[in-house]
Chain A
Amino acid sequence: MSTVLRTRCTVDADGRITFRLSPPEAARPELVLVLRPRKGLPEETIHTLVLEPDGGEGEFRAVLEPRPALAEGRWDVYLRPGPDSGRERLRPGPRDVRVLVDGGVRDRPSPVAVRVPYTTKDGFLAIRAWLRTAHAEAGPLVLADGAMTVRARLHGAELTEAAEVSLRLRTDKDTVLTVPARAAADGGGTFTFTVAHAQFAGAGSGIWDAFLRPAADATPVRIGRLLDDVADRGNVFVYPRVTVDGAVVRPYYTVDNDLSVEVTDAA
Chain B
Amino acid sequence: MKVSFLIHNAYGIGGTITTTFNLAGALAERHEVEIVSVLRHREHPHLTPHPGVRLRALVDLRRERDHPLHRRPAQVFPAAEYRHRQYSELTDRRIAESLADTPADVVIGTRPGLNVHLAVQAPRHVARVGQEHLTLDNHSPALRTALRRAYRGLDVLTTVTEADAASYRRKMRLPGVRVEALPNSVPDPVLPTADGTAKVVVAAGRLVPVKRFDLIIEAFARVAAEFPDWQLRIYGKGEEQDRLRGLIERLGLWNNVFLMGAATPMEAEWVKGSIGVAASDFEPFGMTLVEAMRCGLPFVSTDCPHGPREIIKDGEDGRLVPVGDSAAFGEALLGLVRDDELRRRMGRAALDNARRFAPGPVVARAEGMLQEAIEARGGDRPGAPSGGGVHRTLVSQGHAARDLARAAASSALRTVRKGRR
What's the Cα separation between A240 and B49 when bound, in Å? 41
A6 to B50 Cα, complex, angstroms: 13
Chain B, 217-269, CB within 8 A of any chain A CB: 228, 245, 248-249, 252, 254-255, 258-261, 265, 267-268
| Closest CB in chain B relative to A105 CB, distance in Å | 9
Is B254's CB under 8 angstroms from A237's CB?
yes
- Contacts known (A236-B260, A238-B245, A239-B254); A3 close to B51, Cβ less than 8 A: yes
B44 in the interface (beta carbon within 8 A): yes
Contacts of B252 in A (CB 8 A): 143
**A 206-250 to B, binary, CB cutoff 8 A, 1 in contact else 0:** 000000000000000000000001000001111110000000000
Which of A90-98, A165-173, A258-266 makes up part of the contact surface? A90-98
Question: Does chain B have a CB within 8 A of A185?
Answer: no
B56 CB, nearest partner CB in chain A, Å: 8
**CA of A237 to CA of B190, assembled, Å:** 29
Residues of chain B lying within 8 A (CB to CB) of residue A140: 228, 255
Question: Could you tell me if B254 and A240 are in contact, using CB atoms closer than 8 angstroms?
Answer: yes
Give Cα distance in the complex from A157 to B228, angstroms: 27
> A94, B44: Cβ atoms under 8 Å?
no
- Choose from B48, B198, B249 the contact partner of A4 (Cβ within 8 Å): B48
Give the size of the chain A interface in residues (CB under 8 angstroms): 25
Residue on A nearest B189 in the bound complex, by CB: A94
Measured CB to CB, the nearest residue on chain B to A140 is: B255
Contact yes or no, B272 A141, CB < 8 A: no
Q: When A94-B191, A98-B198, A98-B272 are in contact, do A6 and B254 touch as well, CB less than 8 Å? A: no
Shortest beta-carbon distance from B273 to chain A in Å: 9
Quick check: B265 and A101 within 8 Å, CB to CB?
no
- B150 located at the interface, meaning its Cβ lies under 8 Å from any Cβ of chain A in the complex: no
Check B267 against A101 for contact (C-beta < 8 Å): no
Q: In the bound complex, what is the Cα–Cα distance between A134 and B366 (angstroms)?
A: 58
Which among A4, A98, A139 is the interface contact of B44 at CB below 8 angstroms? A4
Asked if B368 is an interface residue, CB under 8 A from chain A, the answer is no
What is the number of residues of chain B that contact chain A, defined by CB distance less than 8 Å?
Answer: 29
Q: Does the CB pair A141–B268 fall under 8 Å?
A: no
Interface string of A94-136 (1 = CB under 8 A from B): 1111100110000000000000000000010000000000000
Closest chain B residue to A96, Cβ basis = B191
Q: In the complex, A95 Cα to B191 Cα: how many Å?
A: 9
Which residues of chain A have C-beta atoms less than 8 A from B248's C-beta?
Answer: 238
Within the complex, the shortest CB–CB distance from A58 to chain B, in Å, comes to 13
Asked if B192 contacts A235 (CB within 8 A), the reply is no
Residues of chain B contacted by A3 (CB below 8 angstroms): 48, 51
With both chains docked as a complex, state the minimum distance between the C-beta of B251 and any C-beta of chain A, in angstroms. 11
Residue of A nearest to B263 (CB): A119
Cβ–Cβ contact A101 & B44, under 8 A: no
Task: Tell me, yes or no, whether B178 is within 8 Å of chain A by CB.
Answer: no
With a cutoff of 8 Å between Cβ atoms, the chain A residues found around residue B260 in the complex are 236
Residues of chain A with a CB closer than 8 A to B44's CB: 1, 4, 123
Q: Indicate if B271 sits at the interface (CB-CB under 8 A).
A: yes
**B261 x A236 contact (CB < 8 A):** yes
Write out the residue numbers on chain A whose beta carbons fall within 8 Å of the beta carbon of B190.
Answer: 8, 94
Indicate whether A95 sits within 8 Å of B200 (C-beta atoms), given known contacts A236-B260, A237-B254, A239-B254. Answer: no
Q: A101-B198, A140-B228 are in contact. Are A238 and B254 (CB under 8 A)?
A: yes
B406 to chain A, nearest CB (A): 36
Within 8 A of A (CB), among B263-291: 265, 267-268, 271-272
Contacts A96-B191, A96-B271 known; A102 to B265 CB distance under 8 Å? no
Contact of B255 among A94, A102, A123, A141 (CB under 8 A): A141
What is the CB-to-nearest-CB distance from B314 to chain A, in angstroms, rounded to a whole number? 28
Please determine whether A236 and B268 come into contact, CB atoms closer than 8 angstroms. no
* Sample of 23 A–B contacts (CB below 8 Å): A1-B44, A1-B54, A1-B55, A3-B51, A94-B267, A96-B191, A96-B268, A96-B271, A97-B268, A98-B271, A101-B198, A101-B272, A139-B255, A140-B228, A140-B255, A141-B254, A142-B255, A236-B261, A237-B258, A238-B248, A238-B254, A240-B249, A240-B254
Name A residues whose Cβ lies closer than 8 Å to a Cβ of B: 1, 3-4, 6, 8, 94-98, 101-102, 123, 139-143, 229, 235-240
